Amino acid sequence: MPDHKGNDYALSMDHTKPEDYRFALLRQAEYSISVTKTAQLPADEGAEVAIAGRSNAGKSSVLNRLTERRSLARVSRTPGRTQAINYFTLDAQRRLVDLPGYGYAKVPEALRLSWGPLLERYLRARGSLRGLVIVMDIRHPLGPHDADLIAFGRECGRPVHVLLNKADKLSRGAGLQVLAQLRREALLAEVGLQLFSAQTGLGLADLHRQLAAWLGEKETPTSAGAESESQIGEKDSRSGQGGRDQIETARGPSARLE
Ligand SMILES: Nc1nc2c(ncn2[C@@H]2O[C@H](COP(=O)(O)OP(=O)(O)O)[C@@H](O)[C@H]2O)c(=O)[nH]1
Ligand SMILES: [Mg+2]
């Protein structure tokens, strides 16, 4: 995480289209447990959302931004926990789940092989898993590991929401171009896709809305006509919310996803 003053994200947000929705529950996040074996998983009840991404895409920074809790990233960096499934409790029934980073060359093959099956079983069988957030660096989007995870997640029937993180590194036009290009990928036909910046907070309201939808908060509708700054694709229907004009509900035949 680059240095931030405690409150500067509000200043760096785009005020031309105020998008200040926050799912307050996320601020309750507290580290609870690191899991390396299926048997250690918390009781499979309530609801949880998992976040994944290639190492260095900014997963820890996204978690920090999302929860406004810097200590969460520190937990994920603790040796031994980087290859674990890290749980963060939101309340008695809801959790955020930090999945191991992938595509990181320094991870020994033996480790990779040992957490692969855990991750696979988790994605296949976890009843309380409501959705998967996948963090990508917008400058290197949809690498082979990302594609594998999305394909596998979809195969398991998991809703997927992709963050094109570090959008601050590109001009707005260039960012939108990447978004439009990815929108045409068959693999992403039923996947939510948005620009994001853990550094500036771009797209944060959209991400909060997605998590609120998955984790079960009744959202108060935003003002009619408010448009999403970062999002043109969305898997789940979000009726009754602002920003619909910008949201193209992609519901192609699921047969397109093998
Ligand atoms: N410019 C910019 N840098 C970012 C952003 N998100 C993360 N980074 C930087 O990318 C690097 C990796 O971030 P980190 O959160 O540790 O990635 P992780 O390995 O996926 O957990 C760090 O140097 C971060 O400061 C972002 O939105 N914009
Ligand atoms: Mg990290």
pLDDT tens figures, 73-114: 666 666 666 678 999 999 999 999 999 887 655 556 665 666
Q: Does residue 9 lie within any of the structural domains?
A: no
**124, 153, 170: which is closest to 52 by C-alpha?**
153
What pLDDT is recorded for position 84?
85
Report the mean per-residue pLDDT for the chain.
79
Considering the domain boundaries, does residue 237 fall inside one?
yes
148 located within any domain: yes
Query: Residue whose CA is closest, atom 28 of ligand 1?
Result: 166
Counting ligands in written order, the one closest to the CA of 56 is 1
Nearest to 48 by CA among 69, 33, 37: 33
Name every residue whose Cβ is closer than 8 Å to that of residue 94 and which is 6 or more positions away in sequence.
25, 46, 47, 48, 215, 216
| Measured distance CA(88)–CA(72) in Å, rounded | 8
Helices (H), the chain: 8-12, 59-67, 71-77, 109-125, 144-155, 172-183, 204-215
The number of the ligand nearest the C-alpha atom of 55 reads 1
Tokens of 87: 């749980």
Question: At residue 248, does pLDDT exceed 80?
Answer: no
Q: Which atom of ligand 1 is nearest to the CA of 56?
A: 19
How does pLDDT run across 19-74, given as a tens digit for each residue?
789 999 999 999 999 998 999 999 999 999 999 999 899 999 999 999 998 777 66
Q: What one-character DSSP code corresponds to residue 4? A: -
Pocket test for ligand 1, best of 4, 51, 56, 204 (most atoms within 8 A of CB): 56
Residue 32 pLDDT: 93
If you compute the radius of gyration of the chain from its CA atoms, what whole number of angstroms results?
A: 17
44: domain range? 20-256
- Of the ligands numbered here, which is closest to the C-alpha atom of 104? 1
37/25 Cα distance (integer angstroms) = 28
Say how far apart CA 134 and CA 148 lie, in whole Å. Answer: 12
H helix or E strand, kind and range, residue 70: none
Q: Considering every ligand atom, which ligand is closest to the CA of 77?
A: 2
Q: Of 250 and 169, which is predicted with more confidence?
A: 169
Whether 8 and 197 have beta carbons less than 8 Å apart is answered as no
Distance 34 CA to ligand 2 centre (A): 14
Domain with 106 in it: what CATH number?
A: 3.40.50.300
Share of the chain above pLDDT 90, in %: 58
Query: Model pTM greater than 0.75?
Result: yes
Which two tokens mark 126? Answer: 């976890």
Over the stretch 192-229, which tens digit does the pLDDT of each residue have? 999 999 999 999 999 999 999 999 975 444 444 444 66
Closest CA to 51 of 5, 93, 109, 98: 98
Domain count, the chain: 1
**1, part of any domain:** no
Question: Does residue 56 line the site of ligand 1, with CB under 6 A?
Answer: yes
| Cα(97) to centroid(ligand 1), Å | 18
User: What is the predicted pLDDT for the residue at 135?
Assistant: 97
Report yes or no on 14 lying in a domain. no
Atom 17 in ligand 1: residue holding the nearest Cα: 58
Q: Which residues surround ligand 2, an ion (CB under 5 A)?
A: 60, 76
Residue whose Cα lies nearest atom 25 of ligand 1: it is 1
- Is residue 121 scored above 50 in pLDDT? yes
- More confident position, 7 or 169: 169
> Listing from the earlier edge strand, what are the strands of the sheet with 30-35?
30-35, 85-91, 94-98, 47-53, 129-137, 160-165, 192-195, 231-234, 248-249
Within a domain: residue 150?
A: yes
Distance of CA 19 to the CA centre of its chain: 18
Structural domain contains residue 62:
yes
Task: Select the more confidently predicted residue: 177 or 244.
Answer: 177
Ligand 1, atom 22, residue with closest C-alpha: 1
Nearest C-alpha neighbor of 138 from the set 203, 49, 228: 203
Q: Is 5 exposed, middle or buried (0-12, 13-18, 19+ CB in 10 A)?
A: exposed
- State the average pLDDT over residues 159-176: 98
Q: Are 19 and 228 in contact (CB under 8 A)?
A: yes
Please tell me the distance from the alpha carbon of residue 93 to that of residue 95, in angstroms, as a whole number.
7
User: Is 44 within the bounds of a domain?
Assistant: yes
Is the Cβ atom of 176 under 6 angstroms away from ligand 1? no
